[in-house]
Structure 1
Amino acid sequence: MNVRSSDAPGTARRATQAERSARSRSALLESAARGLSRYGYGNIVLADVARDAGYTRGALYHQFKDKQDLALAVVEWVHENWLSEVGEPARRETAPVAELLALARGHAVFCRRDIARVIMALRIEFSEQDHPVGREIERTWETGVERVTRLVRAGRRDGTIPPGPPARKVALAYMGVLEGVAIALAGHAPHDQELTVRAVEGVLGLHGAQKAEA
């Protein structure tokens, strides 16, 4: 009788180990994201991260070699979550303005989660510092700025976004609004979403365009 690979001795055990490793990694990343947003990179204690996740410090060091490695993994993990929950759904919109407003709505909802604030906290902490974590934060930020810049230019080409300051300057203001409103209105749903959209509409010049058409 032929033995399928899934029935081979040890296969089930290896799969279980992989699943356990993935679960522990996810729990540790979420705990670290909460800790980094509350205490910052300089003050976070890895033993506390492990304990809050329900694991030992040894389990944490099995997954991450040091605090820097953990923080970099957190940045990547949060960004992946943001892309899945905000970035990719917004990309399904067919018009530049619709995508920009979908990004604003989705980002406001995403920032209701503890893990979202870690990016903002680390960006402030590592501002103007040459540090691997700071560089990764800035790379992630620049990716967002470039995306918004492209959408603003596309919106101006199709006439849905009025002329104004250079597209990159508008994109920087847009990203700043997302960050600022998320901080100021954290925990104030549903007003956070409505006011984020209003704010980015102002940055894009949509209010002035609507008045001109009225």
Structure 2
Amino acid sequence: MRTSHADRSARTRTALLESAARGLSRYGYGNLVLDQVAKDAGYTRGALYHQFKDKQDLVLAVWEWVIDTWRAEVEEFVGQESEPVAALLTLARGHALFCRRDVARMAIALRVEFSGQDHPVGDVVERSYALLTDTCRLLIEAGRDNGSIPPGPPVDVLASAYIGALEGTVIALAGRAPHDELLAARVAAGVLGLTHDPRTEAPQ
């Protein structure tokens, strides 16, 4: 069965987005070379420019694709948890699994690179971080309210620490499955002040 032009174009676009995401994770925005992105995806520079008008257009599309994929593979399962601690640990484990795509450093690289700048890429990255922080803050508040998360630092501070610790862990443990998933959950539990949770133990 022959594939349609639309199907081929969609496959090309996805391959280029995945390649660019890996490149951003490794090199950041300024050092991302579009020729290399196309080559690593198995396409020509012309194919890339047929899909995207320039680097900024490509990176904005990459960010949208990464966020949409993260929501489908991580956030959806977080939302299925009825308890806030379970949701936060599910987020930690899911994020570790998601970052096995070799995109673990992409978000933090872009955030640091565009810090303090007025730039479309930096702006969309900061908006995404704000939404994630707010999600974590609400879950921590709910955990404090039901007694599953102990008192401690202000909720907004704890939410930022949770995200920072999780990012640092998955970056440091990139390529070290299955320890990345387990230790991401343990780090998250530690930041939240949980003394012991069976969901952070290795399977027997």
Q: Which has the larger radius of gyration?
A: 1
Equivalent residues in 2 for 1:18-167 (5 A)? 18-167=6-155
Q: CA deviation at 1:208?
A: 8.1
When the two structures are aligned, how many residues end up with a matched partner? 197
The one-letter amino acid of 1:164's match is: G
Q: 2:183 matched to 1:195?
A: yes
Of 190-199 and 75-84, more deviation after overlay is shown by 190-199
After superposition, the C-alpha distances for 1:102-129 in whole angstroms (9 at most, x for unaligned) are 0011111111211343222212222222
Gapped regions of structure 1 (runs ≥ 5): 1-11, 210-214
Of 39-48 and 141-150, more deviation after overlay is shown by 39-48
- The answer as to whether partners of 1:108 and 1:196 remain within 8 angstroms in 2 is yes
RMSD: 1.9
TM-score (norm 2): 0.90
TM-score (norm 1): 0.86
Of 123-132 and 79-88, more deviation after overlay is shown by 123-132
Residue matched to 1:5: none
Residue matched to 2:173: 185
Secondary structure, counterpart of 1:187 in structure 2: coil
Aligned residues: percent identity? Answer: 63
Secondary structure, counterpart of 1:115 in structure 2: coil
The one-letter amino acid of 1:206's match is: L
After superposition, the C-alpha distances for 1:66-123 in whole angstroms (9 at most, x for unaligned) are 1001011111111111111111112111111100010011111111211343222212
The one-letter amino acid of 1:122's match is: L
